[in-house]
Chains A and B, each alone.
Chain A
Amino acid sequence: MKVLKATRIERCIGCHICSMTCARLVHGLLSWQDAGIRIKSAGGISTGFEAVNCLACKEPVCEKVCPTEAITRRKTGGIRINRQLCIGCTRCADACPVNAITLTGSGFPIVCIHCGLCTRFCPHGCLEMVDMAETDNRQPGEGFHG
């Protein structure tokens, strides 16, 4: 019932072990880009790092734009991509506002499946699995006392 959150990304040292673990264990690849989580430097190494991964948003735009219904919502948060149904149109990747979906060389989209394997290898505990139920359920505009 949990989703991956980079809750302590300010601790990140840019080792890319999370991405490479995801590529190795989930996608069977040696990669730091074809992975459900990717680490970008925000303006050179001097200014810190940012994790790019699926934020498990409540209204996934990738699902809406997928023309073949290859993308469905996971009950526990995030999305699932059915490889059999995906035609590699790349619209999901284009639509994601945080660039969480990456495309492999063959055009297949890769997105975080919220399995949490990467959290076990991060040396600084930047990543954790967070219960969606415990995340903020307020609607936009409600404010704290809404």
Chain B
Amino acid sequence: MEVNLTSGKATIVRVKGRDKAIGGSGLCAMLFEQRGFTNRPWDHADQPLIFAIGPLTGYFPLMSKTVCAFKSPYHDQYTESHAGGRSAISLRFSGLDAIVIKGRAKRPSLLVVGSRTVEIIDAHFLWGMDVIRSGRIIRHMVDRSHGHRSILRIGPAGENLSAMACINADTYRHFGRLGAGAVMGSKNLKAIAILGDSSLPLPKDQKPYRAVWKKVFQDVQKSGMMHKYHNLGTPANLMRLNELKSLPWRNLQATFDEEAERISGEAFANDHLLRNLACSGCPVGCIHVGFIREKFMEDHRYYYLQMAYDYEPIFAVGSMLGMKEPVSVLKLIEKTDRMGLDVISAGVALAWATEALERAVISTKETICKLSFGDVHCYLEAVEHLAKGKNNFYRLLGQGTMTAAEEYGGQDFACVLGQEMAGYATGELFFTAQSLGFRHSHLDTAAYSYEQKHGEKDLEKAIDFLLSDELPRCLLNSMVACLFSRKVYTKERLKECLSSLGYEELAENLDDLARHIRASRWRLRFQTGFDPENVSIPRRFFKVRSWKGPVDPDYLNRLKKAYGEELKKIALSKSD
């Protein structure tokens, strides 16, 4: 479905190309190639904001993610951000493979789509409202399909066009990084409600489909994934990374702290885990919802707050800000969520601001509050300043830590690898992978994991790993699977899944399709201005000591150069 917010009209378009693009990532790239503008800025009204699912969405367990594609306000290049929640299954049952949103609404609006619905509703009264409150109101405004819908919305950060603004998906999940929230803000689009209000037929011959479904379900149960994510979830990584001297502390001034245990997965699970939730269609239920209860009056009056926690947010507003109390970490996660900011970007940006203040590169004239590692109160205030762009400093910081550092100084200690770093100070390979990776995250390849097991400096092997690990991810991101299921959805299993639904042609060409999709994404990326040679790695990363010892500057530079050259070749390759 194509929605034009300027005209207030929508059209259903049948697009050819399933056999090349698959869905998800591949479909987004194809749609952007056809409908986007590589030479116009990210906030041009004609630029599309795309949400896409894939051929396996809803048909198999853990096929539960939506890909959002857009030209990013962070670097004005083509990018993607992925989220779970209910968005993917709601889209499936709305009968749509993708929504392409173009134009700019005259007033702040709420878009409602479903199998028999397209409405653009005036929502000016929600503008300025935080993510949690606006979610509650939208649930009443769209009084149907309860439990069978997805509500995507932005907070003040998105409205203020911060390049760190996320799109909140169903309260506890996010299209987090690279500023998708600002794209919605630029379109005057406060929220999107997707109604999953139809059902779909299964293949005529249901036997093969049912058999493969059962196999996948059993694989999920056997994989150990249920235990890992039922138990501590991703925060289980925290202690391991700390022990490996790879957990960034206080703006990456250290990679280990004696007291890490205080914010370990166990600490959160034992005292602050309220319950677990699942993305629709996934039996794993990896979402860990924490809670805090706060006394606000002497007379035993309390309020409570709920927020989802994971390893990355704990790193970003925990160790990176020198926070050692789970309650403080949870408060900051909740506040950042509420403001509609990406928690990783916000935490890392404020860590830089704190060190810059300590070194007198900036003053409280810029930061307003006295930022200090470990002081939750100042960060709670700063998060709001950042989301609302309170002064010129916060407005620049919201465009990226390096943007602020270029203005005020302190580039050397800005923890930016293409964007604010993810929580893995594992060494040269991860620094290269995030700096040059498509989404500038730990999700493009498992470099962070490879590096926890490989201490050797074998450039060829490392580059081979990066290149070969990206391909199966391109496939998974086009189906669209949760990456937690990557061991379950082997190429063979994907073939079976696709064949059981009648997608034989896709099943037979997975290798070619993976290369094609990877090339189309990178081509768009380069066409919108990406040049590996322009990406620099700040000096702070060259001073890191991980379990492998000090970072080897020469190896890091060689890795970066070699990977950049390979990416150029991919973008220029004729995969068609």
Contact = CB atoms under 8 A, between A and B. Distances in A.
Contact of B148 (A25, A33, A46): A33
A13 B233 CA distance: 15
Contacts of A74: none
Interface in A46-68: 46, 49
A43 B282 CA distance: 21
B281 A20 contact: yes
B200 A121 contact: no
B306 interface: yes
A14 B279 CA distance: 7
A13 B278 CA distance: 5
B270 interface: no
B201 interface: yes
Contact of A45 (B197, B198, B206, B277): B277
A16 interface: yes
B167 interface: no
30 contacts: A13-B275, A13-B277, A14-B278, A15-B278, A15-B283, A17-B61, A17-B281, A20-B58, A20-B281, A23-B199, A24-B210, A25-B210, A28-B201, A28-B206, A29-B202, A30-B58, A31-B93, A32-B196, A33-B148, A33-B196, A40-B148, A41-B146, A44-B171, A45-B170, A46-B289, A46-B306, A104-B199, A123-B283, A123-B284, A123-B285
Given A29-B200, A31-B200, A33-B93, A15 B282 contact: yes
Interface of A: 13-17, 20, 23-25, 28-34, 38-41, 43-46, 49, 104-105, 121, 123-124
Interface string B65-88: 000000000000000000000000
Given A14-B277, A33-B197, 4 more contacts: A13-B278, A16-B280, A38-B148, A44-B135
B379 interface: no
B147 interface: yes
The 8 closest A-B CB pairs, nearest first, are A31-B199, A15-B278, A13-B285, A40-B147, A123-B283, A13-B278, A30-B200, A34-B199
Contacts, number: 91
A1 B136 CA distance: 42
B505 to A, nearest CB: 21
Nearest to A28: B202
Interface in B174-204: 196-202
A30 B148 contact: no
Contacts of A29: 199-202
Contacts of A121: 217, 283
B165 interface: no
B414 interface: no
Contacts of B284: 15, 123
A14 to B, nearest CB: 6
B290 to A, nearest CB: 12
Contact of B171 (A25, A38, A46): A46
B163 interface: no
A141 to B, nearest CB: 34
Nearest to B172: A45
Interface in B230-278: 275-278
A41 B217 CA distance: 24
B226 interface: yes
Contacts of A23: 199
A30 B202 contact: yes
A13 B93 CA distance: 20
B309 to A, nearest CB: 15
Contacts of B344: none
Contacts of B206: 28
A104 B199 CA distance: 8
B210 A32 contact: no
B198 A105 contact: yes
Nearest to B276: A13
B280 A14 contact: yes
A23 B92 CA distance: 15
A144 B15 CA distance: 65
B348 to A, nearest CB: 28
